């Protein structure tokens, strides 16, 4: 437990290539309850943190629907780091982005998706010679909600037996910050992400200048 808290402290302190900052962006992802907790903490902080947006995502994969939420915040660095505890202690994925990255890395993109989808996206991008660098990444350790969707109607007692097996399946969710070197690759990478059910956010669309 102590080791885990030390690791969280180290991760929270790792900002902008050892550069401090008054304000940070962050994205947190996980189940609905986790993101509700983070949203509540952000709203309770008054003007210290702004909620830029929140998304609820449902991915349909064969017989299973994977459901997760993620939220994008911007605000006071101390409060943003404090929220990392809320996320980490509840199994969420959480990355914080300092102005260093915005000023020094080209074409920043945020990716949010189940880990297997992220890995397939990376493989497809590599095959198509779309070059990018992974700057930050984090994964969930808690459970993501999943629903069993059957095309054949089963007796209730069978559904009650089978459904929990899917709802308890451990789906790892990843949040990743990437930098795309060539502007020509931006559209290509966005298309590859969409094809692989990876939620991609162009960072220039959410930047807030102080």
Q: Is residue 77 part of a domain?
A: yes
The average pLDDT across 32-46 equals 93
pLDDT of residue 2: 42
Which helix (H) or strand (E) is 116 found in, with range?
helix 115-127
Q: How far apart are CA 28 and CA 134, in angstroms?
A: 17
Q: Is residue 102 part of a domain?
A: yes
Q: Is residue 68 part of a domain?
A: yes
Q: Is residue 116 part of a domain?
A: yes
The average pLDDT across 25-43 equals 94
CB 73 within 8 A of CB 55: no
pLDDT beyond 70 at 159 = no
Q: pLDDT tens digits for 55-103?
A: 998 887 766 778 899 999 999 999 999 999 889 999 999 999 999 998 8
Q: Which residue, 16, 31, 26, 33, is CA-closest to 52?
A: 26
pTM of the model: 0.80
Tokens standing for 148?
Answer: 């069993």
Tokens standing for 37?
Answer: 């907790």
pLDDT of residue 142: 84
Number of domains comprising the chain: 1
Q: How far apart are CA 171 and CA 197, in angstroms?
A: 15
pLDDT of residue 15: 40
Higher pLDDT, 194 or 142: 194
Q: Is residue 210 part of a domain?
A: no
pLDDT beyond 70 at 163 = no
Which band of pLDDT confidence, cut at 50, 70 and 90, is reported for residue 46? Answer: confident
pLDDT beyond 80 at 156 = no
CATH of the domain at 80: 3.30.70.1150
Q: Is residue 43 part of a domain?
A: yes
Residues 6+ apart with CB under 8 A from 109: 132, 177, 178, 179, 180, 186, 189, 190, 200, 201, 202, 203
Q: How far apart are CA 122 and CA 140, in angstroms?
A: 19
The residue length of the chain stands at 210
Q: Is residue 75 part of a domain?
A: yes
Tokens standing for 42?
Answer: 């952000």
Q: How far apart are CA 74 and CA 26, in angstroms?
A: 6
Which helix (H) or strand (E) is 28 found in, with range?
strand 23-30
Q: Is residue 169 part of a domain?
A: yes
Structural domain harbouring 48: 2-205
């Amino acid at each position: 437990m102590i080791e885990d808290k030390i690791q969280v402290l180290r991760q929270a302190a790792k900002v902008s290539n050892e550069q401090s900052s008054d304000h940070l962006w962050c994205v947190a992802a996980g189940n609905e309850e986790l993101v509700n907790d983070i949203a509540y903490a952000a709203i309770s902080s008054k003007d210290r943190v702004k909620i830029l947006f929140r998304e609820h995502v449902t991915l349909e994969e064969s017989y299973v629907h994977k459901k997760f939420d993620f939220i994008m915040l911007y605000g006071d660095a101390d409060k943003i780091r404090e929220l990392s505890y809320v996320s980490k202690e509840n199994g969420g994925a959480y990355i914080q982005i300092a102005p260093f990255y915005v000023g020094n890395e080209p074409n920043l993109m945020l990716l949010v998706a189940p880990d297997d989808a992220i890995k397939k996206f990376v493989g497809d991008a590599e095959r198509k010679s779309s070059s990018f660098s992974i700057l930050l990444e984090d994964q969930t350790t808690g459970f993501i909600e999943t629903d069993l969707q059957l095309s054949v109607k089963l007796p209730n007692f069978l559904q009650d037996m089978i459904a929990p097996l899917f709802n308890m399946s451990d789906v790892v969710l990843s949040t990743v910050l990437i930098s795309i070197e060539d502007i020509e690759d931006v559209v290509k990478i966005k298309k590859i992400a969409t094809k692989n059910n990876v939620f991609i956010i162009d960072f220039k669309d959410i930047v807030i200048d102080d």
